Each structure stands twice: as structure tokens, then as C-alpha cells.
């Protein structure tokens, strides 16, 4: 019996990993206590995903446990011991906006929770591959120091700059920059994952994600760029855009492409690795470009308001250079681009979103 422990198992990355590795024959132990609903409200709850996993994935067992609870986490690891061959740690407080409202919870979830997971792995299953879902926010706002050129629909680095062709590599410094409190808590966790790899020889990797997306994303205003953008396009909710003339650029990686990268690492793990992981030059868009895609797919005019002041520490331009990972794992490549991602989100979510809006409208009507 080979077991995969997956935290945040009802979230975007976790649920995709559950389905993928269950099909590969692993027994899946999911850990998720739906803290997303606590962070972002009832509409952000992932219980619908958890219930779907219970119905569809035969070899899945769920534990509604807080990753900061050392005793309960160690009990889970002790039960399976060296049968655990893979740990995917995707549970997190994921929003730099939300972190400012409760810095202590943000840090304990992201940093302390990661410490608990690493130590349980070291004690009970030290040979397991440990994959940590990190973030490009570990670089703070240093990307904003790039020499950027304003184009018609987006910002881009000056063509002569080394990052213009492939994007931002792992060699960018994380020091001397404004991170946001979320970025700081993820830096702490990221460095800890690296240290367990280098100091203890464990097989660990930090995947520093940009915008992660896919149809299982429960997008909200504070987290979930493309999913929430499409939700607003479908339901005609107004979307607030912050700064940079609506031309800020993000690369977007589909959760399926990400999980296939996890699988490559799992099959040939290394110690203390760091990978920038996003859509790269294959899959990226500006805010203006993403809105145009949404309008084309839904056939409706996008409703938005613009605030000239950008969010503090927000990136003007981010595209991940994924070439290091591709050198280490040459069989992996990106398959999804932004239009494909948005159309899939639309097709798999439109009925649920419209049903929710209809229910809300009926409730409002009955109250009045």
C-alpha cells in the first residue's frame, strides 16, 4: 500500500492532486477543515469539492483536521508510517489582502502549519517526497523594479532585459523588498521546506506558484483571479480593478499542468529544490486581456470599477521562468493556455453560479 497525504485536499490544487494520484493507484488521505470559508466567507467554502471527492474517489479518506494541530497530524502520520510515499502540502491562508486583517492566524497557518507537516514527515515517513505549494509572493515587490514598457493592453519588460524572453527565474532575490504579511509567512515556510531537504536530506521541493487556476477553484474577491473574474462575468457582479491602468500581467497555470509537474518530482525527487511554477510565456494575460476573453466566452459586457491606487506590494508584471524545472524534468510541458482555462471554468461552473444567483434572488424576493 502506497499512501499520499494531501493537505488542502478540497482546495484547487489539493482536489486535483487527490483525483490524479488516486487514479495512479495511491491511497489518498486528505486533510482539510474548510478554513477557506473562515477566511473569505460562506461563498468560498470548499465543502462542495470535498463531497464530490467522497462520491467519486473510491480510495479517498478525509480528515477534517487543522494542520496546526500537532497531535492530530502526528496521529495520522503514525497510522500510515513508511507506507506514505508522497506528501503534498497545499493548505494555506492564500491572500495577502486577508493576511493584513489577522497577521497571527496567517503566520500560524502558513509557517507553523508547514513546520508541523515537515516534522511529522521526518519522524514517520522520512523517505516520502514532500511537495510544498509556495508562492511567487516570496519575492515581494522586487519584480516591480524591472524596467517595464507600457503597451496597448499590457506591461512588458524592456526587450533587452534578461527576463523578457522566458520570465522571472528562481535567482531573483527575496531580500530587501516589501512582501506583504502573507508573503512573509510563505517565505518562512518556503525556507523551512528547503532546510529540511538540505539539513535532513529529505526529498523536498518548493513550487513557487503564480496564479493557480482551474474549474475546482472556489474563486472569491480576495483570492482566485480567473475563477472569480469569470464568476463575475457570468453573474454580472461588478469587479473592482486596482491600479496599473488595468494592464497588470499574470501568468496562469492550470491545476492539471501543476499536478503533472508534482508527479514528475514524485517519480524522481530531489532535496531542497525551488521551482518557479506558472503558465510562463505559454499561458499569461493582462487584466484587460482577461476581461476581453470573458466577454467573448459569455457574450455579455463585463461590469467593473477601477481604483487608481494599486494594492500594496502587488506585482505589475509576473511571468514565471519554468525552464529550471523543464531542465530537471524534460518530459513535462504546459498544455493549457488562458483562453482554454477560462472556457473550461465557464463550462463547468456556469450552471452552479447561475443557480446560486437564482436562489439568492428568490430569497431576496421572499424577504421583501
Is residue 117 assigned to a domain? yes
List the CATH number of the domain containing 239: 3.40.50.720
Is residue 301 assigned to a domain? yes
Is residue 368 assigned to a domain? no
C-alpha cell at 172: 531573483
Buried b (16+ CB within 10 A) or exposed e, 219-257: bbbbbbbbbbbbbbbbbeeebebbbbbbbbbbbbbbbbb
CA-wise closest residue to 227 among 58, 75, 43? 43
Is residue 170 assigned to a domain? yes
- pLDDT for res 135: 96
Is residue 367 assigned to a domain? no
Q: How far apart, in whole angstroms, are the C-alpha atoms of residue 112 and residue 105?
A: 10
Label residue 60 exposed, middle or buried (CB < 10 Å: 0-12, 13-18, 19+).
Answer: buried
> Is-contact 332 261, C-beta < 8 A?
yes
Buried b (16+ CB within 10 A) or exposed e, 153-189: bbbbbeeeeebbeebbebebebeebebbbbbbbbbbb
Q: How far apart, in whole angstroms, are the C-alpha atoms of residue 1 and residue 280?
A: 36
Instruction: For the full predicted model, state whether its pTM sits above 0.85.
Output: yes
- pLDDT for res 356: 57
> Is-contact 11 49, C-beta < 8 A?
yes
> Is-contact 59 22, C-beta < 8 A?
yes
- pLDDT for res 217: 57
Q: How far apart, in whole angstroms, are the C-alpha atoms of residue 273 and residue 360?
A: 47
Is residue 345 assigned to a domain? yes
pLDDT profile of the chain (368 residues), mean per 10: 95 94 97 88 84 93 97 98 98 88 96 98 98 97 97 98 98 95 96 98 97 69 72 92 96 96 98 98 97 96 93 90 98 97 91 63 31
Is residue 320 assigned to a domain? yes
Tell me the chain's radius of gyration from C-alpha atoms: 20
> Is-contact 26 59, C-beta < 8 A?
yes
Is residue 71 assigned to a domain? yes
Beta strands in the chain (DSSP E): 3-7, 27-31, 60-63, 84-89, 129-135, 148-150, 155-157, 203-209, 211-213, 239-242, 249-254, 273-277, 284-286, 304-307, 317-318
| Residue 292, domain extent | 3-362
Cα-based distances in Å from 357 to 168, 224, 291, 295, 360: 40, 19, 21, 19, 5
Number of domains in the chain: 1
Amino acid at each position: 500500500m502506497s499512501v499520499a497525504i494531501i493537505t488542502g485536499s478540497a482546495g484547487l490544487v489539493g482536489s486535483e492532486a487527490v483525483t490524479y494520484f488516486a487514479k495512479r493507484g495511491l491511497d489518498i488521505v486528505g486533510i482539510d477543515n474548510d478554513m477557506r470559508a473562515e477566511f473569505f466567507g460562506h461563498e468560498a467554502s470548499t465543502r462542495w469539492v470535498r463531497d464530490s471527492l467522497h462520491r467519486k474517489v473510491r480510495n479517498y479518506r478525509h480528515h477534517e483536521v487543522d494542520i496546526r494541530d500537532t497531535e492530530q497530524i502526528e496521529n495520522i502520520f503514525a497510522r500510515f508510517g513508511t507506507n506514505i510515499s508522497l506528501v503534498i502540502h497545499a493548505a494555506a491562508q492564500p491572500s495577502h489582502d486577508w493576511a493584513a486583517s489577522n497577521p497571527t492566524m496567517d503566520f500560524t497557518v502558513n509557517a507553523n502549519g508547514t513546520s508541523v507537516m515537515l516534522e511529522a514527515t521526518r519522524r514517520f515517513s522520512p523517505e516520502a517526497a514532500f511537495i510544498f505549494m509556495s508562492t511567487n509572493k516570496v519575492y515581494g515587490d522586487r519584480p516591480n523594479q524591472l524596467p517595464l514598457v507600457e503597451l496597448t493592453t499590457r506591461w512588458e519588460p524592456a526587450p533587452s532585459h534578461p527576463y523578457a524572453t522566458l520570465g522571472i527565474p528562481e535567482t531573483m532575490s527575496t531580500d530587501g523588498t516589501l512582501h506583504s504579511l502573507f508573503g512573509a509567512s510563505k517565505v518562512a515556510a518556503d525556507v523551512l521546506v528547503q532546510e529540511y531537504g538540505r539539513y535532513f536530506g529529505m526529498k523536498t521541493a518548493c513550487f513557487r506558484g503564480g496564479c493557480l487556476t482551474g474549474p475546482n477553484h472556489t474563486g472569491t474577491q480576495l483570492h482566485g483571479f480567473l475563477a472569480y473574474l469569470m464568476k463575475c462575468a457570468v453573474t454580472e457582479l461588478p469587479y473592482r480593478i486596482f491600479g496599473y491602468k488595468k494592464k497588470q500581467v499574470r501568468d496562469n497555470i492550470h491545476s492539471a499542468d501543476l499536478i503533472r509537474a508534482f508527479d514528475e518530482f514524485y517519480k524522481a525527487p530531489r532535496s531542497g529544490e525551488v521551482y518557479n511554477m506558472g503558465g510562463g510565456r505559454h499561458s499569461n494575460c493582462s487584466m484587460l486581456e482577461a476581461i476581453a476573453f470573458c466577454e467573448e466566452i459569455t457574450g455579455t459586457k463585463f461590469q467593473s470599477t477601477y481604483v487608481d491606487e494599486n494594492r500594496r506590494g502587488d506585482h505589475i508584471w509576473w511571468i514565471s521562468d519554468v525552464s529550471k524545472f523543464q531542465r530537471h524534468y524534460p518530459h513535462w510541458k504546459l498544455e493549457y493556455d488562458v483562453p482554454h482555462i477560462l472556457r473550461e471554468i465557464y463550462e463547468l461552473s456556469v450552471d452552479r453560479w447561475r443557480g446560486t444567483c437564482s436562489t439568492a434572488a428568490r430569497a431576496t424576493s421572499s424577504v421583501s
